[in-house]
């Protein structure tokens, strides 16, 4: 078994001849009762079996689900994890089950289809891309970066006495020298930066760090006594409004596109635009589903009233994968009033293709490997 990271998104954007299971299980106390986590896990597996049995024999399903039932994922969750995401198919990950532990809030979900259901993962990818924490004291300044829920120390600057044995540098000189190295480091990344330390140190460092990604809110306190898990939890709370602001900025872009008649709201038109590679940015609502399938050559939609069997997928998820495969951008949002009842809106390069009475087969892309 291997632990997947959010960076494996492209690997997940594939299809298979056999069934592919995507399973999301929340461990967030703010969302669901933790006493029921084992029961909810069993319920999701039973739902997966239900869909599989629509198209496959009992003996095949029993063998296919064996690895899912043999492994105790719940025991692998860390104290700070809010849940995990399971991906499994006969072809994927060398026949093993891949999973991701997440610190973001997710909703219980199981989808059995011909491709993985990655829409919630796209939202996590958009909103949790890592961050820097700079912990400061008069003795040492540490730089930590978040990676897959863990804090890794990148560098450390110590206020050591000079080689002549003189006293340590004045704190302002120490911070000035350290900030010059910090600015070089931050210039290579586009990640939010959170400062942590006593108020005077934070105020002084804010004047020295010349980065637009520096978050105004900071962690105030004696960082030498703070544990790593406390730092992470406080940073996540600080970054929640930051990511909300990022989402609002994207929605502003959508509003401008709509005012200029550069947006498409009908699913049929979005599907055709996605197949033709005309979408620059697709917006979809996370916890909304349109079950069915897309003809990935013509863009024709086949809609069903619900998830019926082991081949039906969420059409919104398929649209996400199509747009990503064509080099477009996808923004998965919680809910947007601007959608006016639509579950998806796309910004397109042009609208000319929507007025063609029929497709020129020579202009249509070859079948996609999704």
Is residue 205 within 8 Å of residue 142, measured between CB atoms? no
Closest CA to 47 of 14, 19, 82, 83: 19
Cα separation, 154 vs 145, whole angstroms: 7
Closest CA to 355 of 292, 264, 293: 264
Average pLDDT, stretch 257-279?
90
Query: Which CATH architecture is the domain 261-355 placed in?
Result: 2-Layer Sandwich (3.30)
More confident residue, 368 or 70: 70
Cα separation, 193 vs 131, whole angstroms: 6
- Give the chain's mean pLDDT: 83
Average pLDDT, stretch 270-295?
92
Per CATH, the homologous superfamily of domain 132-245 is eRF1 domain 2 (3.30.420.60)
Q: Where are the beta strands (DSSP E) in 10-108?
A: 15-26, 83-89, 98-102
Place of tokens 């692998």: 76
pLDDT band at 361 (very low <50, low <70, confident <90, very high): very low
Sequence ranges of the domains in the chain: 2-116, 132-245, 261-355
Poorest-pLDDT segment among 55-69, 72-86, 107-121: 72-86
Residue 244 has pLDDT above 80, yes or no: no
Bridge partners (DSSP) of residue 209 are none
Cα separation, 132 vs 145, whole angstroms: 5
pLDDT band at 271 (very low <50, low <70, confident <90, very high): very high
Q: Do domains 132-245 and 261-355 have the same CATH topology?
A: no
* Beta sheet of 291-294, edge-to-edge order: 301-303, 291-294, 313-314
Cα separation, 315 vs 118, whole angstroms: 12
Q: What is the pLDDT of residues 334-352, one digit of tens each?
A: 776 666 678 899 999 988 8
Task: Say what the pLDDT of residue 3 is.
Answer: 58
Residue 308 has pLDDT above 80, yes or no: yes
Identify the three-state secondary structure at position 296. Answer: coil
């Amino acid at each position: 078994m291997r632990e997947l990271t959010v960076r494996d998104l492209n690997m997940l954007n594939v299809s298979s001849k056999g069934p592919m299971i995507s399973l999301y299980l929340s461990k967030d106390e703010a969302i669901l009762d933790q006493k029921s986590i084992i029961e909810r896990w069993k319920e999701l597996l039973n739902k997966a079996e239900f869909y599989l049995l629509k198209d496959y024999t009992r003996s095949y399903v029993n063998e296919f689900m064996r690895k899912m039932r043999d492994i105790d994922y719940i025991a692998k969750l860390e104290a700070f994890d809010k849940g995990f995401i399971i991906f499994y198919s006969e072809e994927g990950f060398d026949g093993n089950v891949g999973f991701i532990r997440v610190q973001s809030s997710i909703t219980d979900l199981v989808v059995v289809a011909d491709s993985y259901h990655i829409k919630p993962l796209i939202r996590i990818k958009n909103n949790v891309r890592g961050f820097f924490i700079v912990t400061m004291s008069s003795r040492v300044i540490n730089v930590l970066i978040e990676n897959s829920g863990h804090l890794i120390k990148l560098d450390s600057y110590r206020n050591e006495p000079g080689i002549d044995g003189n006293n340590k540098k004045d704190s302002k000189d120490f911070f000035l020298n350290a900030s010059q190295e910090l600015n070089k480091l931050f210039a290579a990344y586009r990640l939010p930066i959170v400062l942590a330390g006593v108020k005077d140190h934070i105020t002084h460092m804010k004047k020295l760090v010349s980065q637009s990604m520096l978050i105004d809110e900071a962690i105030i306190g004696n960082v030498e006594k703070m544990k790593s898990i406390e730092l992470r939890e406080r940073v996540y709370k600080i970054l929640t409004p930051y990511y909300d602001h990022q989402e609002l900025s994207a929605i502003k872009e959508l509003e401008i596109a709509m005012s200029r008649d550069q947006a498409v709201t009908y699913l049929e038109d979005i599907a055709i635009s996605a197949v033709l590679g005309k979408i620059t940015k697709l917006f979809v609502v996370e916890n909304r589903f349109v079950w069915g399938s897309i003809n990935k050559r013509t863009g024709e939609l086949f809609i069903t009233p619900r998830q019926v069997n082991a081949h039906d997928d969420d059409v919104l998820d398929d649209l996400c994968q199509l747009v990503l495969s064509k080099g477009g951008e996808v923004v998965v949002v919680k809910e947007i009033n601007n959608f006016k009842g639509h579950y998806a809106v796309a910004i397109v390069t042009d609208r000319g293709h929507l007025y063609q009475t029929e497709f020129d087969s020579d202009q249509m892309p070859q079948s996609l490997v999704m």
